[in-house]
Structure 1
Amino acid sequence: MTKVRINETHASTYSVAIEVGAHSLIGDEPADKGGLDLGPSPYDLLTSALGECTAMTVRWYARSQGWPVDQIEVRVTHEKRGRQDVFTKSVHITGDLLSDDQRVKLIEVASKCPVQRTLLASDTAIETVPDIDVPAQNRA
């Protein structure tokens, strides 16, 4: 289970402190959306998660097969097209000793990372519940 804690920082209208495990970072909206661009936006983080997961999945598969991959670079864009969210991933794999078949397989594996599967899952559920430890007058 992943647990994340988010608290407003009040450094800008939308800035938040993000705690995930032993890591801390700041999130915010860009200036044109009312923030001060103090950190990545929610969609920046979601897009980053997709790219991070893709690179890690390709690396894991290459290692499990003993394939000679030197470097993996993933570039991801996110845009709204009408009501649809569209993510485009570009995966560059460096390894002079990789065969064409190995490269094809690694690109196939790149499309199967767990974050991508979650984004595409039709049975993903998100439940929003009140924190019972917070007095009712302090709830937003």
Structure 2
Amino acid sequence: MSDQTISAHVVETGENTYAVDINVSGHTIKGDEPIDAGGGNLGPAPFDLLTAALGECTAMTVRWYAKQHEWPLDKVEVKLTHHKEGTQDIFKKQVVLHGADLTEEQRARLIAIAAKCPVHKTITSSPIIETSAG
């Protein structure tokens, strides 16, 4: 959750029509499309990664907030779905808070914080994407 510049490099692997290697922040993962979309299902598809990024950020933000306030949050889970209705993207996220000693007020605040994670805010804003030839 910093303001650092993130660099990613994505290159086709040639393993099938859509397979790519993704290098980002020192991590390498494979991306691909599912078989029914013409890929080989060798890794997550782009919207899989976007949905997972939203869940990852939500869990981390909730954890950070609970830690800052020294609240008794044992574990946070985020269950997500993404689908399209026409041209509209619909993300649904369910935040499950584990912690028997959390008060109802703490739970309510953590759920409110879950909607304020940086990826959530980016998706719901109007980000600028500049594309150029290399």
- Name the residue aligned to 2:122: 118
Deviations 1:79-127 (A, max 9, x none): 00111000000000000110000000000000000001000113x1100
Between the aligned partners of 1:4 and 1:75, the Cα distance in structure 2 is 26
- Name the residue aligned to 2:107: 103
Of the candidates 24, 28, 42, which is equivalent to residue 28 of structure 2? 24
Matched-pair identity in %: 52
- Name the residue aligned to 2:59: 55
- Name the residue aligned to 2:19: 15
Q: After TM superposition, give the deviation of residue 38 of structure 1 in Å.
A: 0.2
Q: After TM superposition, give the deviation of residue 12 of structure 1 in Å.
A: 1.1
- Name the residue aligned to 2:77: 73
List, as ranges, runs of 4+ consecutive aligned residues in structure 1 with deviation greater than 6 Å: none
- Name the residue aligned to 2:131: 128
Between the aligned partners of 1:120 and 1:55, the Cα distance in structure 2 is 18
What's the Cα RMSD here? 0.5
Structure 2: which 5+ runs fail to align? none
Q: Which has the larger radius of gyration?
A: 1
Structure 1: which 5+ runs fail to align? 132-140
Of the candidates 19, 41, 44, which is equivalent to residue 40 of structure 1? 44
